[in-house]
Amino acid sequence: MEDLSELLSLSASQSPPPERMLQILTAAAKLFATQGFDRTSMRDIAQECGISKATLYHYFPDKDSIIRPMVMGTTRSIFQHVSALDDPERPPLERLRTLMVETATFFERYRWAWIAGSAIFWNDPQVRRRKQRLEWRDRYETLLRSIIEEAIRRGDMRPMDVALAGRLVASTLSWLPRWYNPEGPLTAPEIADQFYGMIVAGFMPRPG
């Protein structure tokens, strides 16, 4: 079961949601991810939690109020997680490996919330909220591109379109939670580590 308390704290000064809200959010995340947001009802969520609909409505008036924290929380927290572990003094290829492996670690920890949130990332009718999410996503991509740019500058990678290279890495990782098997032979970070080796081998300068 995912522990969403840290993920859903909107700032360092805000306390995590109370236990009952976390139970609801966690159950809803899995239902949204496996059944789809539109096909999941408030009744489904209440039954999954073992509570009455009245209790559910006491905490959340509708499904939108449940999904919103997941979308914002995952978009913000993935950047905060990888940036906290990035060390600009390290060689860029080491930084890239850390970013990729730690992104997968985050996805493994918050798999259902990420799938549920990313599925409706673009569908929020409120422009301000959508803009905030895009700002956090852009911070992640800016960090990734800066690492690739530094690797190219040092000669660790051949010259290339940095934006496209960043999208390749980010897209490869963002689909990982949807298809990897938690019961399989490799963990998500181990898969990301193999992705790193494959991508970097293809990025290295061509001989001659």
pLDDT of residue 20: 87
Per-residue b/e over 188-203, b at no fewer than 16 CB within 10 Å? bbebbeebbeebbeeb
How far apart are the C-alpha atoms of 172 and 183, rounded to whole Å?
Answer: 20
pLDDT above 60 for 12? no
pLDDT above 70 for 139? yes
Cα–chain center distance at 11 = 17
> How much is the average pLDDT of 1-22?
64
- Helical ranges in 17-110 per DSSP H: 19-35, 42-49, 53-59, 63-85, 92-109
Q: How many CB atoms lie within 10 A of CB 165?
A: 19
> How much is the average pLDDT of 182-194?
95
Q: Which residue has the tokens 């800066």?
A: 146
Domains and CATH numbers, the chain: 70-203 (1.10.357.10)
Written as six digits, the tokens of 202 are 């293809």
pTM of the entire predicted model: 0.86
pLDDT above 60 for 179? yes
% residues pLDDT > 70 (the chain): 87
3-state secondary structure of 56: helix
3-state secondary structure of 62: coil
Which burial class, exposed, middle or buried, applies to 153 when counting CB atoms under 10 A from its CB (0-12, 13-18, 19+)?
Answer: exposed
More confident site: 105 or 2: 105
**Residue-averaged pLDDT of the chain:** 88
Written as six digits, the tokens of 136 are 């956090």
Q: DSSP labels for 116-183? A: HHHHTTT--S-HHHHHHHHHHHHHHHHHHHHHHHHHHHHTSS----HHHHHHHHHHHHHTHHHH--TT
The torsion of the CA quartet 79, 111, 115, 17, rounded to 10 degrees, works out to -70
Written as six digits, the tokens of 1 are 């079961």
Q: How many CB atoms lie within 10 A of CB 5?
A: 16
Written as six digits, the tokens of 185 are 């032979």
Q: Which residue has the tokens 């985050």?
A: 106
